[in-house]
Chain A
């Protein structure tokens, strides 16, 4: 099967690599910045196409992969559905709940296989955490704290810094943890959110969200685009008979390199795994296309995640809790 890739930035390149590792071919790619698109085309032996519409409509493309800024998802999804393609779309599904619902209707009508990259479900540490919780190792879970973030991301034309485009760290980054919470613990009842980006602090954002789940579970989620460096993931799960803590600062590998020109070298920590979670999500998606096996993430999951983060932004604006 051939992939047509829309958006050739950091995530586009990552997904191209994963698709290729799954035996797919990157046939065509498009990017608003021609240089970025051409560079990827060269590396993956693909054809750079100036207009993304032409990629989506091309007979040479079976799967459309979308890794563009969020507001572009809607028109791209819309055309890809119309063109009868399978779709891999980065999270968040769309920038608004209304757009998500429209896309779902169209996708269901056309029987489109639309997969949304809520990749945290595929991360080894989160799968292991899920298993520990399910096995009852710490009894009944009553509270969970999830932390994710680091430096403000840099995207084309600084689109992440524009609240109307990205929705800030809550909409773009914390959505991972929101989705995982739903995946493991069910539906959300109430959210309360404070953030910086809606107080004109861009490019900085820092979001603190209290979540009450329908099953009574309480959660605090923190998302940061406010650090001068690094990327941090921390999870604490409190149960009736124990506690589980994860911190991504504890890694299995750390490379330190001497720097001849400067006094301080570089330190790169990492935790390599045999199969990347991004490859696992691609395999899940391909298995759906080829064998009709439902993937871990459904299109309704993607909608629900957007509904919840959208409620968070409403709460931050009104400074009151919002019920789902």
Chain B
């Protein structure tokens, strides 16, 4: 049995990860730490796992790995503590809210000799895996351009508090797509132009709820990306991940979560899309468990997390100065 703990239920994804841990027969979901005792205790009851209030006591348990779905800005503190305690780490995305924090986490994990992975579950969605195969087998010829979206609903709470989140929709919804493209194409991002703003939630909070990024990857591939919290409460689902690939030999359109039933229920009084595709969180957690057993990094590594953070940070820089900017890549 691989013993795993969760550090913080601040991010909603924690509930899905906890569920996954309980579903896997090779895993013991040993303990929960949370800086909010109420939230931690409630999760403890819900998932039948022990709540430990003291972080050092939690880390002294014989846990082999921890998942960190805390507020973005707390990743550094928690991950570095877990690394020192010798735990394998799966950190919620984005890895950190600054490039400095991201590199610091990576170095701490290296020093401690522990594996570090980033929660990029989209890499495990079967249609994305298939799209990667199509692209790599040359079905599209030479890739020329890509248009992407990662839209969502406003998540509320700490996501709109810049000190905890590091930023709004661009911070939240850029990294998935950036990571996917790096992974699918095996190429890096070189520059970014970004326009962003509080476009649809004016007056409700200060951070951006919408970003429009234009980027260029190795080989001059031109990319547009929408990072948003623009889906209204009445929208039939939480959001989307879509990509349109334009190549010399063809076009590939990907709508990763378009595996759904249309549900019209008088109880909900709105149309709902009921997703029936695979649970990519579960496949990701399985990879994390394996990485512990095999003493390797999970599929999406700390470096992958850093590269995605860099694109995001330079997108904010571009928006600030109103110009296209080069994406500087830190050495690790």
A: residues with CB less than 8 A from B are 138, 140, 142-143, 145, 190, 192, 194-196, 199, 201, 204, 206, 208, 210, 212, 216-220, 222, 224, 226-228, 238-243, 319-321
In the complex, given contacts A220-B224, A319-B324, A321-B193, what are 11 additional A-B residue pairs having Cβ atoms less than 8 angstroms apart?
A138-B232, A142-B230, A143-B212, A192-B214, A196-B222, A201-B144, A218-B210, A238-B200, A240-B202, A319-B191, A321-B324
Given A194-B224, A224-B246, A240 contacting B144 (CB threshold 8 A): no
Q: Tell me the nearest residue of chain A to B230, going by C-beta.
A: A238
Determine if B201 and A240 form an interchain contact, defined as CB atoms under 8 angstroms apart: yes
5 CB-based A-B contacts, threshold 8 Å: A204-B248, A210-B212, A216-B197, A222-B147, A243-B232
Determine if A240 and B200 form an interchain contact, defined as CB atoms under 8 angstroms apart: yes
1/0 per residue B208-225: CB within 8 Å of A?
011010101000101110
Q: Tell me the nearest residue of chain A to B194, going by C-beta.
A: A210
Q: List residues of chain A with CB within 8 A of the CB of B214.
A: 192, 194, 208, 210
Chain B interface SS verdict (over half): strand
Q: List residues of chain B with CB within 8 A of the CB of A142.
A: 197, 199-200, 202, 209-210, 230
Q: Which 8 A-B pairs have the closest CB atoms?
A: A142-B199, A194-B222, A208-B224, A238-B230, A142-B200, A206-B145, A226-B246, A242-B232
Query: Which residues 179-214 of B have a CB within 8 angstroms of A?
Result: 191, 193, 195-197, 199-202, 209-210, 212, 214
Interface extent on B, as a size class? Answer: 35 or more
Q: List residues of chain A with CB within 8 A of the CB of B209.
A: 142
A243 to B152, CA, bound (A): 12
A224 to B210, CA, bound (A): 24
Q: List residues of chain B with CB within 8 A of the CB of A194.
A: 145, 214, 216, 222, 224
A212 to B246, CA, bound (A): 25
Determine if B144 and A204 form an interchain contact, defined as CB atoms under 8 angstroms apart: yes
Q: List residues of chain A with CB within 8 A of the CB of B230.
A: 142-143, 238, 243
Cβ distance A80 to chain B, nearest Cβ, rounded Å: 39
Q: List residues of chain A with CB within 8 A of the CB of B200.
A: 140, 142-143, 238-240
B: residues with CB less than 8 A from A are 144-145, 147, 191, 193, 195-197, 199-202, 209-210, 212, 214, 216, 220, 222-224, 226, 228, 230-232, 234-235, 246, 248, 250-251, 322-324
Determine if A199 and B220 form an interchain contact, defined as CB atoms under 8 angstroms apart: yes
Q: List residues of chain B with CB within 8 A of the CB of A212.
A: 195
Q: List residues of chain A with CB within 8 A of the CB of B201.
A: 240
Cβ distance A41 to chain B, nearest Cβ, rounded Å: 39
Given A220-B226, A320-B324, A238 contacting B199 (CB threshold 8 A): yes
A228 to B228, CA, bound (A): 30
Q: Tell me the nearest residue of chain B to A217, going by C-beta.
A: B199
Determine if B324 and A143 form an interchain contact, defined as CB atoms under 8 angstroms apart: no
A241 to B216, CA, bound (A): 33
Determine if B199 and A226 form an interchain contact, defined as CB atoms under 8 angstroms apart: no
Q: Tell me the nearest residue of chain B to A140, going by C-beta.
A: B202
Cβ distance B204 to chain A, nearest Cβ, rounded Å: 9
Partner of B210, one of A140, A222, A238, A243: A238
Q: Tell me the nearest residue of chain A to B209, going by C-beta.
A: A142
Partner of A218, one of B193, B197, B223, B235: B197
Q: List residues of chain B with CB within 8 A of the CB of A140.
A: 200, 202
Cβ distance A319 to chain B, nearest Cβ, rounded Å: 6
Determine if A226 and B144 form an interchain contact, defined as CB atoms under 8 angstroms apart: yes
Cβ distance B243 to chain A, nearest Cβ, rounded Å: 12
A220 to B323, CA, bound (A): 17
A320 to B193, CA, bound (A): 8
Q: List residues of chain A with CB within 8 A of the CB of B199.
A: 142-143, 216-218, 238
Q: List residues of chain B with CB within 8 A of the CB of A196.
A: 144-145, 222, 246
Cβ distance A185 to chain B, nearest Cβ, rounded Å: 13
Q: List residues of chain A with CB within 8 A of the CB of B228.
A: 143, 238
Determine if B212 and A226 form an interchain contact, defined as CB atoms under 8 angstroms apart: no
Cβ distance B10 to chain A, nearest Cβ, rounded Å: 27
Determine if A208 and B147 form an interchain contact, defined as CB atoms under 8 angstroms apart: yes
A143 to B151, CA, bound (A): 12
Q: List residues of chain A with CB within 8 A of the CB of B322.
A: 190, 321
Q: Tell me the nearest residue of chain B to A242, going by C-beta.
A: B232
Q: List residues of chain A with CB within 8 A of the CB of B220.
A: 199
Q: List residues of chain A with CB within 8 A of the CB of B216.
A: 194
Q: List residues of chain B with CB within 8 A of the CB of A222.
A: 147, 224
Q: List residues of chain B with CB within 8 A of the CB of A243.
A: 230-232, 235
A224 to B147, CA, bound (A): 11
A277 to B48, CA, bound (A): 63
Given A142-B210, A238-B200, A239-B200, A228 contacting B251 (CB threshold 8 A): yes
A224 to B232, CA, bound (A): 28
Partner of A210, one of B195, B223, B246, B250: B195
Determine if B251 and A220 form an interchain contact, defined as CB atoms under 8 angstroms apart: no
A190 to B319, CA, bound (A): 13
Q: Which of A140, A199, A220 has the most CB of B within 10 A?
A: A220
Q: List residues of chain A with CB within 8 A of the CB of B323.
A: 320-321
Q: Tell me the nearest residue of chain A to B323, going by C-beta.
A: A320
A194 to B225, CA, bound (A): 12
Determine if A192 and B324 form an interchain contact, defined as CB atoms under 8 angstroms apart: yes
